[in-house]
Structure 1
């Protein structure tokens, strides 16, 4: 085999490439190019389990028909952080899944606090909490989520109705720590029905009860707010609707609200739902949700928020054209029966 030194130079004094080394170089360059054309290895995506195992550390009566629960990890480890306005998706021992606003201190990483008002005519979740849960009971929950974020502003007006104080309470305390100019109007039927009165900073909280002051005039409450205030409202649907109707958009003030119950259906059309597993066909009136009607036939159907956020009530859509009414319900092959409907005709569901 010749070496590069044995090959005579060309007219310019450059030595010709040895055929062996030229062939070897071409071979290895080709191998490298083939490797570069291979798609990169894709590791399988593993779903993140955000389930928390929790135990009821303390139960405390906060007002008539309201109890608070302090929840912590069984081994006392630190819990995921949360911000004012956050909530927990809690799975009760019965399997019911319910959403509860966090109303404790975000700086406390060893426990979460929620509060539950007993609703005799509800879906059974509040009765289960009040009647069967005890300290030491095991629960599971999803990590905190926030659909009602608290924004840093100079001025606030907080409007809380009844159990609507739960997301507002951490916001009030955060505004106090920020040194902001804030005011809270806390409404309810009676003082005995209002939870956490002893935790509200004095001097900026106005308590208005129906039995002492009458039903509050939401327009008058908004008129007293600073022009650039951030208005945070949480309470029963009639209160939120009244605040929304009285609020004048377009100025520096902003309105933020969270419902504990679904908004009324004002533009629906009647339609039918077929439950594919039984063949039952149900009539859904214009002013009722599909979920409400389905629950009468199948009481154990899963649901939680009833507003389209949590996805608990999603079922497979087998046939029909759905009228989707929430941004989180775009999938063509499934349906959130708490909010989505049909503009006439029939939907066939995998139920």
Structure 2
């Protein structure tokens, strides 16, 4: 009998006694994804390096209490609206909607109690060559002041020997706005290496990015060209090569914390490539979303630790496929609108491989 490619255990219990489950999906050569029902989060992602040594490449915790104590979005499914909505308000069909601010005056990642802090329900698992788990969260009408009951599903599936696909879908009972993403913090050196990501080489399939103000809200006007700026990753550059540049936008983000406007295309297409010269691990990111938020871990400040290390600035990088930030207030941006006759869909693929390592 073939060995199971999917297993399930209890990761911990919430203060109200409900169990948080963990599902493990196993691929080839030690490739493994572990997902917990708290926040439908990617708790661990084990990937072999160029020498075949397997290590975890995402920040997070080994225990539930640490996730509950300090909210850092490690590996989480974020929503109802990922990224920022300016002044925690927007208009929809003539109705002014006020949200709960949690990022200065703005709403970030669904507000103070977003999807990353909810207990999701496992509704399906599949074993076999492409093991998967599907989780469900039902957001009530009016939760966090968003209109419409939203039924959200996220599926994690190993779609190749070293490939993880994350698929979201959602339906609403009333017209609303939706923007979901996975918020994993990646370090392709592996967490046991104790190194950061400034030497990771990044490529982004974008000719433009959104300039921001000092509170990380996109400025008025069209997207800015990346040409001649520290945001030009059309060819591979180390993340840290220009992160200390005397550039107004780098100063606003304290590094990179910007939306890259991905080139137009249909379906799932290449969006970014990240490579560690130390480990030889390569991650290609493919998505059907119009934007990619690149965040270089600027606010990791050694106040939180996990998996045997203290997390410091630029210890990891987030590559978050999504609709552009503040789109509910920007008719010139891709629309996050979802009606009761529509289905929200979002698919992202993380494809891993290796190349020769220098050390």
| TM-score, reference length from structure 1 | 0.28
Structure index of larger Rg: 1
> When you count helix as a share of all residues, which structure comes out higher?
1
Greater RCO structure (CA 8 Å; 6+ sep):
2
